Structure 1
Amino acid sequence: MELESYHGYSVWGHAILQQEGILQPERYAASGTITRNNKLVEASGVLGYFDTEEQAQHAGLDWARAWVDSHG
């Protein structure tokens, strides 16, 4: 999980490990969360699947920043 402060909001990028099968490579589902004053503002569903935890977290942060930009 990666946290960033953005225009007065706390935006989070999440990477959720997906293990479909033992012989499958690890994949990470991305999601984003936006909070303000410790209260949930908005949360995404699964935004996509990525090969690395970092890529998934960044996708979640990108979604959260875009949401703030369009609702601010």
Structure 2
Amino acid sequence: MLRLRRSRQRTRYTLWGHAILHQEDILQSERFAGSGTITRDTKVVEVSGVLGVFDNDVEAQSAGLSWCRAWVDNHG
């Protein structure tokens, strides 16, 4: 399962925070891997890779968006 949250900024980029279901064992509670993607128009500019594993999808997506904002601040 993949959940996305998009954040438009006043820049030319679109930022995406991803939450990917990460469950090592069926007896463990659900956790989510977080990552971020930066696009411009319809092209991918940069991707973060997995930033960590989080207890819920909102934390995972927020980590991805934070990574994207930092990338734009440094490269945008």
**TM-score, scaled to structure 1:** 0.96
The alignment-based identity, stated in percent, is 61
Aligned-partner Cα distance in 2 for 1:8–1:2: 17
Which letter does structure 1 place at the counterpart of 2:48? S
Q: Which residue of 1 aligns with 2:8?
A: 5
- Structure 2, unpaired ranges of 5+: none
1:63 aligns with 2:44: no
Q: Which amino acid aligns with 1:39?
A: K
Q: 1:36 maps to which residue?
A: 40
TM-score by structure 2 length?
0.91
Alpha-carbon RMSD across the aligned residues, in angstroms, is: 0.6
TM superposition outliers: structure 1 runs of 4+ over 2 Å? none
Instruction: Provide structure 1 residue ranges, at least 5 long, that are not aligned to the other structure.
Output: none
